[in-house]
Amino acid sequence: MTQAPSAPASATAFRPLPKAAAPGDYGISAKLPDATLIKWLRDMMLIREFENRCAQAYQQAKIGGFCHLYIGQEAAAVGTINSLNHDDPIVTAYRDHGHALARGMSADACMAEMYGKVTGCAKGKGGSMHMFDKPNWLFGGHGIVGAQTPLGTGLAFAARYEWEVMGKSVTGGPAKKKVALAYLGDGALNQGALHEAMNLAGLLDIPVIYIVENNGYSMGTAIERGTTMAHDLRKKAEAYGMEGAIIDGFDVMKLYDQFKPLVDRCRENQRPAFVDLKTYRYLGHSMSDPQKYRTKDEVDQYKNNDSIDRMASYLMNERKTNGKPTLSEADFHAMQAELKDICMKSLEFAENSPIPDASELYTDVLYNPQPNMSPMRDYTHGVKNPLL
Ligand SMILES: Cc1ncc(C[n+]2csc(CCOP(=O)(O)OP(=O)(O)O)c2C)c(N)n1
Ligand SMILES: [Mg+2]
């Protein structure tokens, strides 16, 4: 029997370091309007600024519970979400603030949720790991590793059922061909729920795309130490009869070049797919991670190829509009200042919002009276649980 290596794993050959983009590297993304590309840069910068403010507030004990920051992975959420229609549903795990902001949630609602305040997107009852935004088709934010993947599969199944069987949408309007995204971390790859869901998706032609945000680590365990075929995760997709792709998640435009056509195919053919999206988080797994499993040098290598720096550089140096840089330095600095202001105001908004009333403990929870099943009789909506 071979022994698993005991030394902390560092970056291995299969885990690619991002390469600097050269002009002409981009495909369909380069043909998008300037305003679209500037908006993507803005979205990524908003997420980074927001996350930095969260880190500060957490250190000041203003945010409680677990807090998993998205710094370094911004291109993943922004590139994938911008390949969708607004009403394509998405579901993700607990590293979810980036997805919420990229989907259009206001920084105020997101920050207030971090603070556990009533003005938060989940009325302060969810916190960092449970961002929900029904108008923006975000169905969480889930803390149980892998548990969101069957939910994403169900969202896609529901959409297909509306289109194929009902011929109308339960939320109003005509039914249409949709695609759902179910994000997961590489640490969820070996959860049974994922494999059950992928099997059904392959079998029943469910238009869901499983996106592994592969940052190389499941907490402190390097992927190649805990997962088979880590060098080619597409083999997992093959076993369930679905298309698999490995996509560069360090460059938002390259990501779009590969991911958008995949989304279009899944939508058109109403078929599932699986993506190994290579990314990297600059901070620890959560705010309380001493990061003994990787070297500073490894982290720095990724930081030196930062997706935000790269896109800013493309728009300010390489891309030209009427002979001038697409994004001027002055506009870039104005955008930085505007985003800082938005995030500072979100802190103020969260700070000044009230905490939920104690009675809220008994609302928005599943209530299913079972006569004679409980020795204490039925629990009643809004009434304190007699067993507590
Ligand atoms: C079912 C379950 N088992 C264990 C945990 C504890 N846990 C939380 S995050 C995590 C690792 C997940 O890593 P990954 O999926 O790679 O996501 P990342 O944090 O890298 O974004 C574990 C084991 C959990 N939340 N749920
Ligand atoms: Mg991971």
DSSP letter for each residue of 305-370: T-HHHHHHHIIIII-EETTEESS-HHHHHHHHHHHHHHHHHHHHHHHHSPPPPGGGGGSSS-----
- Phi and psi for 165 in degrees, rounded to 5? -100, -50
Q: Are residues 321 and 307 in the same domain?
A: yes
Q: Are residues 159 and 303 in the same domain?
A: yes
With b for 16 or more beta-carbon neighbours within 10 A and e for fewer, the 152-164 pattern comes to: bbbbbbbbbebbe
Q: Is residue 11 part of a domain?
A: no
Cα 359 to Cα 86, 208, 314, 363, 382: the distances in Å are 35, 38, 52, 7, 7
C-alpha of residue 197 to centroid of ligand 2, in Å: 20
Query: Alpha-carbon distance 83 to 330, whole Å?
Result: 29
pTM for this structure? 0.91
pLDDT (0 to 100) of residue 140? 96
CB 230 within 8 A of CB 261: no
Ligand nearest to the CA of 189: 1
Q: Is residue 207 part of a domain?
A: yes
Q: Are residues 80 and 137 in the same domain?
A: yes
Q: Tokens for 269?
A: 């053919």
pLDDT (0 to 100) of residue 365? 79
C-alpha of residue 219 to centroid of ligand 1, in Å: 6
Query: Alpha-carbon distance 155 to 197, whole Å?
Result: 12
Cα 26 to Cα 9, 293, 326: the distances in Å are 33, 35, 16
Q: Are residues 256 and 384 in the same domain?
A: no
Alpha-helix residue ranges (DSSP H) falling in the chain: 34-59, 74-81, 97-103, 107-114, 148-161, 192-204, 223-226, 234-239, 252-269, 296-303, 307-313, 329-352
Q: Are residues 346 and 388 in the same domain?
A: no
- DSSP letter at 65 equals S
Ligand 1 lined by 188 (C-beta under 6 Å): yes
Q: Tokens for 347?
A: 């802190």
CB 136 within 8 A of CB 105: yes
Task: Write the residue with the smallest CA distance to atom 18 of ligand 1.
Answer: 185
Q: Are residues 65 and 194 in the same domain?
A: yes
Q: Is residue 20 part of a domain?
A: no
Task: Write the residue with the smallest CA distance to atom 5 of ligand 1.
Answer: 145
Cα 297 to Cα 20, 304, 314: the distances in Å are 18, 10, 26
CA-wise closest residue to 96 among 135, 47, 153: 47
Q: Is residue 4 part of a domain?
A: no
Q: Are residues 382 and 299 in the same domain?
A: no
Tens of pLDDT along the chain (388 residues) come to 444 444 344 444 335 555 556 667 899 999 999 999 999 999 999 999 999 999 999 999 999 999 999 999 999 999 999 999 999 999 999 999 999 999 999 999 999 999 999 999 999 999 999 999 999 999 999 999 999 999 999 999 999 999 999 999 988 888 999 999 999 999 999 999 999 999 999 999 999 999 999 999 999 999 999 999 999 999 999 999 999 999 999 999 999 999 999 999 999 999 999 999 999 999 999 988 999 999 999 999 999 999 999 999 999 999 999 999 999 999 999 999 999 999 999 999 999 999 999 988 878 877 655 555 555 555 555 555 555 4
Q: Is residue 16 part of a domain?
A: no
pLDDT (0 to 100) of residue 319? 93
Q: Is residue 334 part of a domain?
A: yes
Q: Are residues 259 and 380 in the same domain?
A: no
Q: Are residues 247 and 368 in the same domain?
A: no
C-alpha of residue 78 to centroid of ligand 1, in Å: 22
Query: Alpha-carbon distance 160 to 19, whole Å?
Result: 39
Q: Are residues 161 and 67 in the same domain?
A: yes
Query: Structurally, how many domains does the chain consist of?
Result: 2
Q: Is residue 298 part of a domain?
A: yes
Ligand 1 lined by 96 (C-beta under 6 Å): no
Q: Are residues 208 and 323 in the same domain?
A: yes
Q: Is 36 left (phi over 0), alpha (psi -120 to 50) or beta?
A: alpha
Ligand 1 atom nearest residue 143's Cα: 25
Residue whose token pair is 């004990």: 61
Ligand 1 lined by 257 (C-beta under 6 Å): no
Q: Are residues 77 and 193 in the same domain?
A: yes
Ligand 1 lined by 186 (C-beta under 6 Å): yes
CATH number, domain with residue 111: 3.40.50.970
Q: Is residue 258 part of a domain?
A: yes
Q: Residue 381 is part of which domain span?
A: 358-388
Ligand 1 lined by 219 (C-beta under 6 Å): yes
